Amino acid sequence: MLTWPVAHTGDTRHARPFFFSAAILFTVASLAVTAFWHRFDTAIARSRLGGKFDLQLFRKFGRATTALLKFAHFRRDTAAYPNVQKFWAQIEFTH
């Protein structure tokens, strides 16, 4: 997952940033697919920071091997924060 932008996503009076999220989960041919979309606003002025899309693919290969692929894309709504894309790949072996 991407990290929160540092500036003004909350304050010391226990205000929390507005956070909207939607998720889709399904399985296709032994491949588990998870997709999330989040929208981030500041807690103080409700300024839009941007939105983030996450995609995760998971599959087991037999009893001992699993593969996991993740992709995250943060698209800014303000020039103060950069657009960010991240990709993860993981293979796990157990014995």
- Provide the pLDDT for residue 85: 93
- Provide the pLDDT for residue 13: 39
**Overall pTM > 0.75:** no
Per-residue pLDDT of the chain (95 residues; tens, 9 = 90+): 445 455 544 443 334 555 567 778 878 888 999 888 888 777 777 677 888 889 999 999 989 999 999 999 988 887 777 888 999 999 999 98
- Provide the pLDDT for residue 2: 45
- Provide the pLDDT for residue 11: 40
- Provide the pLDDT for residue 29: 81
CA atoms of 50 and 78, how far apart (whole Å): 7
CA atoms of 48 and 74, how far apart (whole Å): 13
- Provide the pLDDT for residue 89: 96
List C-alpha distances in Å: 18 to 6, 27, 36, 55, 92.
15, 30, 16, 22, 36
Domain boundaries, the chain: 19-93
- Provide the pLDDT for residue 72: 92
